[in-house]
Amino acid sequence: MSLSPGDLRPAKIATVSVERIRRKLGRLRPADWKGVRQSLGRYTSLRAGRGVWYGSGGRTTARMPLVSPDAPLVRPMPPNILALLALLPIACGLLAAHDAAANVFGADRRVQREASHLPYRAVGVLTQPRLGAGGTAFLVSSCHVATAYHVAFLRGRAANGSVELGPAKLGHAAEFVAGPDARIPGRFAARTRARVVAYGRFDARDFAGMAGDWAILRLDDCLGERFGYLRHARAGDGPMPDGPLMTIGFPASRAGEPGITVESGCRARDHGPVDALVGVDCAFESGMSGGPVVQLQPDGKWIVVGMVQQSMAPAPGVLPEYAMQHRNQMIAVRAFRKAIETALRADTRRLLARPTPAR
């Protein structure tokens, strides 16, 4: 569905009986609900009034954002997809069964670039050295990076392939590498230890917890002084960005290629069901978690408007068009803006405390 910010309303939880859904169906044209009636008593999604309603048996508790009253009927979703949407969203790079999966809509527009200038050179990889695993991270100040919570606190994998997260605590250490070589895959120009100084209240079991999938780490070596860092959108932004977006990161499928992976021209498509969660049609893949979603400004500069968080129900190949059940989800920057601004103030204090060079 192609939606603009004006088409969307704040999200709500739908709890309705099948009979109420049947009454809603009765108001639709026969061509609209053909096939949906067959799903009643199992799992159903349909446009009802101003919202997307989900039914299971007698009642429903599934949650998704509201859409335009003029939006077309949403296709019925099989039970396994609904379960993923409501209960088990997959963070990019978390589950082994989906490591090679990516939700790509329409066409794969990703290309490799040299990280020779901003915004590319401000993006690197946060790794857990003993695991040999990690995700994308980006410089938000001279001495700080932002990434996903599930990247910062990655501890290992269980026997079934699911990711294990370690306890969230300030001071947790990882390693940040920056400056990918333009010719040799996997080689970076600089590396330094990074320690967690702030993090969200992440919980993969509900949407409110997903909005807390972020962390800020302080670098031992302030690589932002060498590579620069990304500015972020200030207060006053709407529920989702309007206009073309760009993602920058290190997807697993391109680990054997030099440089950094970039996609431009993708857009935000929906938002909700809680503040700061936004569905986009940018291609997401394992390894991209924690990477920036940026937008070009009239002055020619790029600012961060969000962070890559997860893919819903990863599907092989290229999907013909954006679909909510395969939503690629970013966290809007307002979810972690205060933490970035705290980091910037810390940098300012550090600079002011430096001795003045003798003349």
State mean pLDDT over 288-307. 95
Report d(CA 321, CA 2) in Å as an integer.
Answer: 10
**Residue at token pair 């101003």:** 50
Residue 67 has pLDDT above 60, yes or no: no
Residue 29 has pLDDT above 60, yes or no: no
pLDDT in tens, 241-273: 999 999 999 999 999 999 999 999 999 999 999
Please give the pLDDT value at position 347.
Answer: 84
What the block records as the tokens of 282 is: 């940018």
State mean pLDDT over 182-207. 95
Q: Mean pLDDT in the chain?
A: 76
Confidence band for 133, pLDDT divided at 50, 70 and 90: confident
Q: How, if at all, do strands 102-105 and 318-319 pair? A: parallel
Report d(CA 176, CA 224) in Å as an integer.
Answer: 12
Task: Please report the sign of the dihedral spanned by the C-alpha atoms of residue 132, residue 344, residue 226, residue 303.
Answer: positive
Domains of the chain: 5-86 (no CATH), 90-347 (2.40.10.10)
Please give the pLDDT value at position 18.
Answer: 35
Q: What pTM value is reported for the model?
A: 0.73
